[in-house]
Structure 1
C-alpha cells in the first residue's frame, strides 16, 4: 500500500483552500501592494546612490499617479492608467514629459523586480516643441570681447 495520501474531487480543492488561508497565500493572488513596492524600490535607489531630491521627485510624481488612478496593487497598472494620469494633470507639455519620464523610471524598477511582466510604457511618448534660441548680436559679441582683460595674455 502506498504511503501517499491522495485527495480527489472537492476534498482536494477544499484542502488547498484551507492551506492557502493558513499560509496567507490568498492575499498574494491580489498582487504586490503599491506602498510596499515603492518602499522597496526607493530603498534600492538609496543604496544605489540616487540623490534624495531625485527619489523625492519620483515619490511625489508616482504617488500622484497612484492617487489619480486609485491603484492599490502594482498589477493594476496598465497603459490606460498612464494615459489617464497624463490627461488629468493640468500642466505644460514639458512638465508632462518630466512626469512621464519619472513614471517610466519607477515602472522600470517594478519590471526589474519582476512585478510587471511587460514594458508596456515604453511606447508612450510626448512631443514637446523645442525652443530655438536667438543668436548673439554683433554688438553683444564686441562688448564681450572688450571686457576681456588682455593685459594678462602672454604673446609668443
Structure 2
C-alpha cells in the first residue's frame, strides 16, 4: 500500500508544483491543529487561522502550516474555534499540503483555493488533504469559495 501512496503523492506533488504553482509537503502531523484568533477583520469577517506542525517526508524537515479558517468547507462565520474538519488534524495523522512557502523557509501558508485566479508562487491554488492509513488521499479541506468576495 505504501507504494500506492507514494505514487499518488508524486502525482499530487506534480499538480501542486506545476499546475497550482505551490510548494508541496507530505508527511506526518507532529503538533495537532490549534486555533489562532483573528488579527484582521475584512468586511466584518474575522480572518482566524488554524496552525499545525508537520514532518515533511521529502526533506525530513519540520514545517509550520497556517490554514485560513474561512476557506474550510465547514467554517462558521466569526467562530472562536476551529472548523471541525481542521480540528480533526491530529498529531500522528498524515496530510498533504500545497501552498506558498514562508520567506524564511520554515512553513507554508496560502494552503487554500485561490478563488479561480491564475495561480502564482505567491498565490497558489493550494490545498490541505488528509491521507488515510491505507494511503487514500482525501478531498481538499480548504476549498470553500464562500468568502472569496473578501479579496475581490
More helix by share: 1
The structure with more radius of gyration: 1
TM-score, with normalisation over the residues of structure 1? 0.25
Larger RCO (alpha carbons 8 Å, 6+ apart): 2
More strand by share: 2
